[in-house]
Structure 1
Amino acid sequence: MGNGLRWLVVAGVVALAVWGFIANPLHLGIDIQGGTRITYAVPSAAILELVDEDRRPDAVMDRVVEVIALRIDGLGLRQLTVQREGARHLVIGAPRMTEEEREEIKRRMVHLGRLEFLIGIGSLQGRPVMEVAVPRPGGDALEAFTFDEASAEARRLAAIADERDVDGGARPDRPWTLTHADDGRELPIVWHPYRAGQAPAGRGEGAWLYRDPEFFGAGQLGFSGKDIADVKAVHDPHGRRVVSYEVRPVRRADFEDYTRRYVRRPMAIVLNDELWSAPVIEQPLFDSVQIRGGGAGFDEAEQRWLVDCLDSGSLEVRPEFIGQEEVSPTVGAVPVQRSIAASIIGLALIAAFMIGWYRLGGGLALIGLACNLVLVAGALALFEATITLPGLAGILLTIGMAVDANILIFERIREELAKGKMLKAAVSAGYDRAFVTIVDANLTTLLAGAVLYGFGVGPIRGFGVTLMTGIACSLFSALFVTRTAFRTLISAGWLTTLRLGSLLRTTLRFRWMARPRLVAAMCIVVLVASVATFIGVGDAKYGLDFTGGLSTRLHFTEPLSLVEVTEALRDVRTDSGAPAFRDISPMGLQAHADASGTRFEEGVVRLQPDTDPESVEVSGIRPLIAGAFGDRLDEVRGLSHAGPSVVTDLKQRAVVSFVFCLLGLIAYIWLRFRRLSFGVAAAVATVHDVVVAASVVVAAHWLGIVHAPFDLAIIAGFLTILGYSLNDTIVLFDRIRENTGHIEGSFRDIVEKSINQTLSRTLLTSLTTFAVVAVMLILNRGQRSSIEGLAFTLLVGVTVGTLSSLFVAAPVLVRLERSQGR
């Protein structure tokens, strides 16, 4: 491909990203720009109907929170929070959005998401039916007529008139029962309206459907949304938007039985009591099924809504809208300003390092990094992502890590120049030799992102999308954009020499494996101590996102800032002198004026008591809060228990996603390096990094060194550590693979040689990333914002990840290879 064509490709990709950003600008999170607080209530009677010996009211509400969280933010990118307050209230925290977007959230909230697969009643038309039991007030009335849709529709409308029943009788909970004249079989039928705007011409507003008692009768499971999985938005062979899903393995035999019985009959797909489609069953079905949206298929919004609704599961109760209010940014102006300053300083440090160390080559790399930033912003805009302060830090870190690919390339070019090659040949060889390493490292991390997206939920899934997006953009900018720039300058004769800085001697011969037993003993001690610390701290490590707490609405007599509110509550002490609250999270303040025109500040604050939130007496907390503000507080309104942002099932799925991520990592590296030992060693190093980093963060928070309670931002930090650790380890393993067979000596000698060869790159990448994260931490230290804990987590992770590739991954690999006689 010629240079001109390559620049056209670059221009086209960048133009597409810019168009995406302009057409769909990035949203700022509620922590930066403020947003909306939407409150719903679940009727007490509806909760009690679902309570039994094995299911408490809290479990019912937790399920409601889980379904709603998945439904309104399936990708985990919009940064919407759903929390329980009190016994039956739900609160959604949303960033600023249009009225249409708010209404879409409300629409998703009230749909139950109940899915059923019924059979079209057309198969009964013309058959003699002796009696129809029609439910009426005071008892069922028996009528005799031969069933056809016109007669049934007339009687349904009559039932509406008699009962004043807007549902028109023949509902799922009150079906009409037809008794067949020939054999006396009972045939329960129901009527469902078509989806709005989708009624076929001349067919009325709805259709009659059959509920086969052998599958939907008493004691039968039927077929519903619980029986499907792997819901996807796809296109059919004609290019129409449809939704596909798989029947769960445990129900496939029954579903095949059911559909075999009704071949060449329409199978009605009923969602939220509306008929969405009724494709004819051409053959028995047992695994894959599609939902079509009429002749033209679904539009994009309908398709996305249907996927989110089916993927999240059925909502057992319908919440009732209470109200909404606008709130100010939840972290205040100072953390936002400092985070922006940290981003600017971090980017300036990267630019200064690249130009100072690699001269012109560094300048070309900065062009690639700028392109990378534009591509990431455009891609996230197309995904309708919301940028929060932790998200901003994550993007900055992504740029810092993207520098690694350029460092790898420049180090390879420097090695080729040292062999006496001409510049053009050295640049070409440097890119070619670095290509395999960069692709291996990034594909491994890409696999981790795919697993997190596939098995994760909420913010875990959102992180997976962001991670995969960043990796794809980094690969393009490093391997295509900067190489195109080099080729152009060299071909034009504008670049004839290239000066590259060198951190270490190329002849370094440090013996990393000289004391393997001592290193192994130290790593085991550190790992055991880390696990003990993590467990020993107990629930004190968890923030409000995991434990829940108390929620209160404070009404102030004078304007206060979020910092003033937080500081006042932080000084509250119990009778023993201990802090009353471990974590304080203002949800934003809003200025109001009463009837007399007097202005005041009002806001919601979430508090994490020093003891179990469920055991706290609310009456004892109210005077503590009032005493913290004195005359500045007019009233404490609505103090109640608030549930966590992360319910139990989401925690379990997060753990499952991490486990599958490790298994996928082992399988990929085993396949790529042709040895299982490489995959196992990488997995051991990854687990080591996450466990040790988690324990350090927990200990630092417990000791009061930093404010870093375990919350969703910290989880994002640990997932970033996972990606960083993989990248560092794969770079080393790739050099070991390259050297195997080309260097004399034992496998241990090859590993030590490889470490020495890649050490310069390891230190340069780590120091660059460390500097960027350190700036974030220094500027946000003491602000008690989410960015403080995230920055500290990343700082620890970068340090641990760098050390583990040298002292964990490499020794474990040597030990495993030795056990196999290599």
Structure 2
Amino acid sequence: MGNKLAGRIGFIVAVLVIFVYGIFGIPHGGFKQSITDRIHLGLDLQGGTRLVLQVHVAEAINSSTDRDVQTLNTALASTGATATKLDLLHPEVITINGVTPTQQSAVHDIITGNVYAAYSIANVSGNYTMTMTPSAITQLESRTLDQSIETIRERIDKLGVSEPHVEPYGVGDNQILVELPGVTDQDRVESIIQSTAKLEIHGVINAYGSEQEAMTALNNVIPADQELVKGSNGIGGPDEFFLLKRVAVVEGTDFRDAQASTDENGRPDITFNLTTEAGDRFYKFTDSIKGTGQMAIVLDNKVREVAGVQEPIHDQGRITGGFTQEQAQDLSLMLRTGSLPASISYLETRSVGPSLGAASIHQGVVAAIAGMLAVMVFMLIYYRGAGINADLALVLNLVILLGFMGFAGATLTLPGIAGVILTIGMGVDSNVLIFERVREELRLGKTAAAAIEDGFGHAWVTIVDTHITTIVSAGILFIFGTGPVKGFAVTLTFGLLANIFTAVFVSRTIFDYLLSKKGRGAALSI
């Protein structure tokens, strides 16, 4: 046996050892436990929860223009003009009224700066209308979806869910797919995900005992820069209706940290820290109302507490509201991970029981083993001695595929098992192409060595071509597919790459080794 052949055999053995380690790692707790530690099971095999969420991106547009109105009014204070949103059905439109002829130039300079580049400006009878452009709306919706995905993913990660799957769902539908393998407490997860944790602090204008009383006092018209919110003033207080300034002084994204704690009476509450910019803004607000005004703490569109301000508050505070310990922990988690930029709703909620997952694993494994055994027996009967070569390559192909998944930490799904089975079929197809070509060369009267040389040489191009086109198709499935479909694409791609190696390199090496042990001119069992 030449040095070149010995080197090839040594390389194959090294590859086998490496990928066996990829499957099992350092065995502990039995081989089954070692495999499941390296190759994770997807939702359909392990059981768990699948959610499809709708992000209401229009709310982000409303919040963005609300902040711009607040900024505009600060900048326009010296001109006497005011900015407002007159039509709540079109939150992307801001109207500027009260522009005197002498202030036209000053107002125009303010609203045409880079700060408001997202708006198109129109001048009607001396007043201005600012409308957010379609491209700016599209970008804001895209950012809102991306931020929602990151926030949800971070919240789930902090809950300790193993191998969660959070990604966009559908094209242009502003939907999110969430898959949580092994999750049992579905209600709590839904609560954590769905709550916007939209904690805001607003200035209080007035309070009313009922909604009817409030609407009577307001002549059935709520001013555009105000809102009516239901809630209570402290723990155990009766429900009231509070007329608040529409634009929040502080909101969820302004929180730098939040932790569950207890007050002086041992009741759960939350302490928080604001960012530097929000702290400065909060200080100016509390300094302006100290001793005279009130502020409302609003959580998920409900007033939790109303407080007076005796001294200006900077960047630290405390939230109370009759929380349980778990509620306080969940709320602090949501504030730490950031407020969702818009509310969400559930389009689909589906649970997969672990027993169904176990049955899927059993049936999938049985199908894979049965298919592989049938193929191996066929190869032995049809190709005789060369069938052993094909079977060895097939087993090594499966070892490399599973080793790839172990090293990559890939998630195995039921379609992924289908990908494994398809890989077995592709492996057999490659061997059939090679062996049939070798048979043709033998019929032409060539020696065994020459037939193998020419057979592998001619079949190589066809094998690479078929595998590359299939890998491209798998790549498209991975890019545009969701969880289970991606699992199929991953296992198929890994399997095809392994198959190119085993069908061409490994199978050829085995043939060369067998020929090196036979005499010159010996027949080939194929």
TM-score class, shorter-chain normalisation, is 0.3 to 0.5
Structure whose CA Rg is larger: 2
Where is the strand percentage greater, Structure 1 or Structure 2?
2
Please report the TM-score for the alignment, with normalisation by the length of structure 2.
0.46
